[in-house]
Structure 1
Amino acid sequence: HGEPEGWLYIAHRKDGQWISGLEGDREFADHVARSPLVGKAERRTMTAYAQRKATPQQATPSVGTTAANTNGLLLPWMPDYYMTLTGGAHSHTGSTGYWSSLDFAGGNASGRVRSSREGTATSMCGAGGGWTRVIHPGGFSTDYYHMWNTTYYNGTSIARSALLGTIGTDTCAGGAATGAHVHWSLRTYDAN
């Protein structure tokens, strides 16, 4: 059940050369903060994500900490619904790394996968692909993989519980899925 690795990037041209920033590095955060192509809401969310800061609508972290804030984070379905845990804690890649992922299916949510919180959504496999990343204010992002009937997002601001797609077996970026489910991963801004 290996899963893909995916990273957002942004680049700008300076003195005839492209200078790129990869999600999790300083260049990415700097480019997002200055790019005229990044909207206000996206800039605010991405900057808070990069700096692991709470935004005004969040509870303030403890003094002296830069830890990410998970207040209000939901599992990938609407409140008052549920799915069944079909794969316990495991790494995002399915083999090595931190145990940051869970697999869900069934329940009374009709297979509809929803965003765990408001944020900036990006379809990691393009239109029709089954992988979406939502970057949330305050230092965390969530990934949703193996979906079908997905909504296409391209750095789009979305609300909490926004419809992302339906559980499925899509492997647009590799890995495997033996039955319809959503592979849900919790991530922090940096590569670790």
Structure 2
Amino acid sequence: VRSVSQEVLYTHNENISLDMSLSHLLVEWGQWIDHDLTLTPQSPSTATFKTGADCTRTCSRDTPCFPIQIPLSDPRMGTQSCMPFFRSAPSCTFPLGRREQLNAITAFVDASMVYGSSDGLATALRNLSSPLGLLAVNQFHSDKGFGFMPFLTRTQPNLDPCGPRERINPIPLPEATQRLNISMGNRSFCFQA
């Protein structure tokens, strides 16, 4: 898998050309739509079912561990001989049949990445004191009038933004796009009122 990816995706620097009409926002838009359509639940276990070995520390292919082998010729090869990879959670089928892929959210372009994909999350993301149905903003932090997302309630010292999708926190651009949606969505509601 790793060697095929390197062969297909490898580009010499002299072969890279600048695109004057498209930017990285095209990639972000694709990711944004993907996150509106799909969320694959991960296996709740990160240890092999047979031996209990930690999937991040073994190259054994025992469910749910499915490590990607790193070839010896890999230019980024270090001390690892494989990269950890986990299978997604299977659907429960009876009688036991083929493994089916799960989708944890609606498979529709319905802006669930802005408003949430469950009643509980949609309620948590709303400003319940507003009759306009505005999205909630952080009461303690803003950026020149543009609201940040409210923080998740945590006992840990780090404050993660409360977003409608669990993949929003590790990547800065989706978080920025979410902030833009909050600001522009609330602004358009206020103009219509």
Shorter-normalised TM-score: what interval? under 0.3
Q: Which has the larger radius of gyration?
A: 2
TM-score (norm 2): 0.27
Higher relative contact order by CA 8 Å / sep ≥ 6: 1 or 2?
Answer: 1
Of Structure 1 and Structure 2, the greater helix share is in 2
Higher strand content, 1 or 2: 1
